[in-house]
Chain A
Amino acid sequence: MSDAEKTVPESADAAAPESAPERQAPRTLTVRVHRCGPGGANARFDDFRLPVRPEDSVLDVLDRIRVETDPTLVYRHSCHHSSCGTCAMRINGRERLACITRMLALGTDVVTLEPLRALPLLGDLMVDMRPMFAHIGDDWGYVRPVEKASTGVPHGVARYTRLENCIECGACMSACPVSSGTDDMPPPEARRGGHEAPAQAAPGADVADAPQERMFMGPAPLAALNRELARHPEQREALLHIGKGPQGEKHCRRHLACSRACPSGVYPAKDIMDIRMMHGGGKD
């Protein structure tokens, strides 16, 4: 291991005897990776067999396959610690971030990797995020003040701030049966408030078949919209007009899959219900 050999212990701490953890033996697994061209053309699975260590994330393993076996493997990644939101995919049929999912913790001898649903396929594990961002304002904020600090604040800081917890990864879009067109719940007898029933794609149908203007914008944009409402109450009417519009909250059928899938502790289903309960937007 050339990297390890070149490690230079530099501080007294680094040179001090460390109870170095034994590196556990790897296990050989099969990684079944979805491959395709643009639009899902020529979709198939390729199997890669390789040794996996307990500490390896799915992303670590993908990087190893790309560097050592197949440089043409297409997947998105950037921060490797669940902040950027680029590496969401379906891992053994569930939406997860590849960077924080330990391969061996999945407990299967074959690990299947597929792209997110609900978004157009660009290739292999990569989807086109533009349809999601089409419903999130460019200028909507991404930082918010901390509600109340329990401590003092340093000189020059009026209130501590936080980046939004939503990392806009698309996991909720894929998990939502409505936005992914996999909803097998029977159509509702009547819609609340006499709203027109949303266009429901048949299970398994290509979501692209549904008329664009009546399709659900998905959980992530509505969650972002609710946060923007909190930031800018003065824009309530305009924001609710979007949230309660033809592609808005009325499509939600309370599956709650979005909240379960979120890797970041956001609960989009709650945001959607908040919007549903609000008056305004020219609908109530």
Chain B
Amino acid sequence: MERIAIIGGGGTAAALAHDLILRGFSVAIYERGEFFSGATGRHHGLLHSGARYAVHDPEAARECIEENMILRRLVPQAMEQNEGLFVALDDEDMAYRQRLKDACAATGIPTRDYTPEQARHLEPGLADGVLAAMQVPDATFDAWRLALPFLATARAGGATAHNFTEVIGIDVQGGAVRGLRLRSLAEDAHGARGREWSAPADMVVNAAGAWAGKVAALAGVHVPIQPGPGVLVAIEGRVTNMVINRMRKASEGDIIVPQRRLSVLGTSMWLTDDPDHLDIPPEHVQRMVRLCSEMVPACAGAVIRSAWSAARPLIGNADATRPQEISRTFDCYDHGTRDNVSGLLSIIGGKGMTLRAMAEKTADIICRLTGRDAPCRTRETPLLPARAFYRS
């Protein structure tokens, strides 16, 4: 049984471990912090319909709607399946409306039009000036409880998962990976920290998200990762039942994701080389509240419960003139063919909700490279409940 070591303990790693266990591999995850403490836990929790990407990033839109439908089935207990609305507030939004409808139709995203009166009957908190609205199959999910079932199921199937364990080296000999050099960050029973050890592996997958560049450098290879942080704001009180999107091209402050008794407002975006130091500029917080209050005025007066940053693991694109133009799709790199380091893969890009699809693509490549003929089974295999994580 080939031993696959996964670097990073985010949603992609959890879904990949689950997929690989089902295909008969031996799997170990290494994460330097708590599981899901990077971008996986920190996004707005929107189960995208894909409409946000349909016009400018149709590949990402198709990934979203397909995974949307799969995850609704696999992890219903992590979701509020209350649908979403795109709302038009000005002439520019109205001009975008037909493009959006056409692009949704082309990418398989179902839509339904509402008059302003109908929209305000659904959501009385919408601004008076709403000119048109369109329903899309958005939903809200609990980021922690969407990812945890994948990890729980993988562990129940025999995967090992090590948090607070930092990868400090990738052992490459004769052009092939042999294993990982690891360091434990937590204190042991003897009062020591930083114990180091080696774990052999037949293949290593770099699934470190925004940190994938730093991990790849351990093996002397490069991946085109571009961390793209953004600020999100959670306000007290639920301003709507449904997810609310601004009917215009992807920009800032164009989404309100209600969840429990909160509403999450997002998102700004900038680019950085350092995903460890994420600033939360107060002017971004103010801007998110102001822009979202154009859609739902109650956002403006609400108490801010939390403001935070998360680093999207973007695939770098020097041609993009705005960060929002960088595709949100994902890709898997085989460093054997790219860099003559066989047995090393990097999975980068993607979104929190495309974790299963990212895992499928990566596991397909691992099967091809190892000559194992095992189809993906994660679309239909039931997942354990999130709480089962605490049984193992």
Name A residues whose Cβ lies closer than 8 Å to a Cβ of B: 1-4, 6-8, 10-11, 13-14, 18-21, 23, 35-39, 41-42, 55, 57, 60, 67, 71-72, 74-86, 99-100, 122-124, 126, 129-130, 132-134, 136-143, 146, 149, 151-157, 160-165, 168, 264-265
A115, chain B: closest CB distance, angstroms: 13
Q: Which of B96-104, B255-263, B336-344, B359-367 contacts A (4 or more CB under 8 A)?
A: B255-263
Closest 4 CB pairs of A and B: A78-B41, A84-B144, A133-B390, A80-B308
List the B side residues contacting A164 at CB < 8 Å: 260
Contact status B80-A162, CB under 8 Å:
yes
Q: Which partner residue on chain A sits nearest B36 by CB separation?
A: A78
Q: Interface 1/0s, chain B 355-392, versus A by CB < 8 A?
A: 00000000000000000000000000000111110110
CB of B115 closer than 8 Å to a CB of A? no
Report if B186 contacts A (CB, 8 A).
yes
Given A55-B282, A55-B307, CB of A8 within 8 Å of CB of B142: no
**B191 touching A21 by the CB < 8 A rule?**
no
A91 smallest CB distance to B (angstroms): 15
In the bound complex, how far is the Cα of B137 from the Cα of A39, in angstroms? 47
> Does B78 interact with chain A (Cβ within 8 Å)?
yes
A151 lies within 8 A of B261 (CB): no
Give the contacting residue for B261; candidates A4, A130, A134, A265; CB below 8 A: A265
Q: Are A123 and B187 in contact (CB under 8 A)?
A: yes
A157 partner, pick from B34, B81, B264, beta carbons under 8 A: B81
Q: How many residues of B contact A (CB 8 A)?
A: 91
Min CB distance, A101 to chain B, in Å?
Answer: 10
Interface stretch among B63-71, B169-177, B267-275? B267-275
CB distance from B114 to the nearest CB of A (A): 8
Contact of A83 with B143 at beta-carbon distance under 8 Å, contacts A153-B122, A165-B261 already known: yes
Contact flags B166-191 to A (C-beta < 8 A → 1, else 0) = 10000000000000000001111111
Question: Are A18 and B143 in touch, CB under 8 angstroms?
Answer: no
Contact with A along B232-259 (1 / 0, CB 8 A): 1010000001100000000111000001
Given A151-B123, A154-B242, A161-B41 contact (CB < 8 Å):
no
CA distance A105 to B120 in the complex (A): 38
Known: A86-B34, A99-B308. 17 other contacts (CB 8 A): A10-B323, A18-B287, A36-B187, A37-B187, A38-B187, A74-B187, A79-B42, A81-B264, A123-B164, A126-B34, A126-B186, A136-B387, A139-B385, A142-B77, A156-B83, A160-B241, A163-B259
- State A177–B270 Cα separation when bound (angstroms): 47
Within 8 A of A (CB), among B85-119: 85, 112, 118
Contact of B144 (CB < 8 Å), options: A8, A86, A123, A133: A86
User: Is the beta-carbon distance between B164 and A74 smaller than 8 angstroms?
Assistant: yes
- Does residue B79 face the partner (Cβ distance < 8 Å to A)? yes
User: Chain A contacts of B191 at CB under 8 A?
Assistant: 37, 41-42
Distance (whole angstroms) from the CB of A213 to the closest CB of chain B: 19
Instruction: Pick the contact of A39: B32, B189, B269, B322 (CB < 8 A).
Output: B189
Q: At the interface, yes or no: B346 with Cβ under 8 Å from chain A?
A: no
Binary per-residue interface labels of chain B (187-212) against chain A in the complex, 1 for a CB within 8 Å, 0 otherwise = 11111011000000000000000000
Query: B residues 10-69 with Cβ under 8 Å of A?
Result: 32-37, 40-42, 45
B80's partner among A39, A42, A55, A143 (CB-CB below 8 A) is: A143
Contacts of A162 in B (CB 8 A): 80, 260
Q: Which residues of A contact B272 (CB under 8 A)?
A: 2-3, 6
